[in-house]
A = this chain, B = another copy of it.
Amino acid sequence: MSRFFSSKYAALEAYVPGEQPSDMSRYVKLNTNESPFPPSPKALEYAAANTRSLNLYSDPQSQLLTQAVAKTYGVDPDMVLVTNGSDEILNFAFMAFTDKKNPALFADITYGFYPVFAQLNDSPYETIPLRDDFSLCVDDYIGKKGTVFIANPNAPTGVALEVSEIERLVKSDPDRIVVVDEAYVDFGARSCVALTRKYRNLLVCQTFSKSRSFAGGRLGYGIGDPAIIADLNTIKYSTNPYNVNSMTSAMGIGILEDEEYTRTNCLKIIENRNYTVDALKRLGFKVLPSCANFIFVSSDSIEGGELYRRLKEKGVLVRHFTKERISNWCRVSIGSRESMEIFIEKVMEILKA
């Protein structure tokens, strides 16, 4: 830290992304929930068509892409904001809707960026423990004051909530916002987007990084009441008006025009997840019920950190969190069938050794 750094941020602990080793090709990479498939060929086609105007600023309103997202989800364009990845819209939501008077409320075990965003914005936050089976009970949030952030499906557990439960929470207090982070929703959970037309206190965030195979392009979006989106736009135009670059915008449109490709890939991931879960259960693993492109696993035969290290030695990267309640678990991204077969093979070697 330099001696110039604002004392506001002196205690800030930044988020630590999953490791990206420079010799990545040596690894079967199951640690950052990426898709094993390339983005739709239509994306590449549109990117190529877009290179002529790169000397010009991207459209600060990202109009064409915003319209494409709106059309995909059957909402009005003024209910959509596209951002530089979904971390950006989550940060905007913490900026706009939490402060000293409006604390953030989220689970003890969830996306590790939420407490960072809260600290960054000097917003108090309260973590609410998941139940013993790592399920989230919305009754634990009802009656509490504050802006709620729920990852659904949750990370790193993969466990999903019913839409009716989230609706019960949203409806219970129209005077506070509920943010539903649906980064992983396309792998078997149900989206709350339709509820944004009914409730004015709901923001749903999604990303192109997972089901749409476009983590490298950085594209996320939020869907909610026009008044909420207007607030988030005020934040955007006060930080980085041209937040989404032209190539990413063009490719995003191509990806949305090829939803069949996305659906097919999601079905393959679900198949590979089923294969992996079955194999792990046969090996005596506990596996939480996952609606995501990852699974959360533990075994009585080997401690979580040890499993992570032994897998890394064998060229398979998974993610291990040191947080006490989950330190015996590993999060395993679901990749190609081949990758999952290698993963299972290595686990078997480790258990036998």
Q: Residues on A close to B: CB < 8 A?
A: 1-9, 12, 14-17, 20, 22, 29, 32, 34-39, 43-44, 47-48, 50-60, 63, 84-85, 87-88, 91, 95-99, 101-102, 116-117, 119-120, 147, 176-177, 200-201, 209, 213-218, 225, 227-228, 230-231, 233-248, 251
Contacts and interface: CB of A to CB of B under 8 A. Distances in A.
B98 A6 contact: yes
A59 B238 contact: no
B215 A56 contact: yes
A113 to B, nearest CB: 9
Contacts of A117: 238
A218 B242 contact: yes
A102 B6 contact: yes
Q: How many copies does the complex hold?
A: 2
A4 to B, nearest CB: 5
Q: Is the interface of A mostly helix, strand, loop or mixed?
A: loop
A91 B57 contact: no
Contacts of A35: 55
A166 to B, nearest CB: 18
Contacts of A233: 14
A55 B213 contact: yes
B243 A245 contact: no
B20 A87 contact: no
A210 to B, nearest CB: 10
Sorted nearest first, the 4 A-B pairs with minimum C-beta distance are: A14-B237, A216-B246, A2-B227, A54-B216
Given A2-B225, A97-B6, A60 B14 contact: no
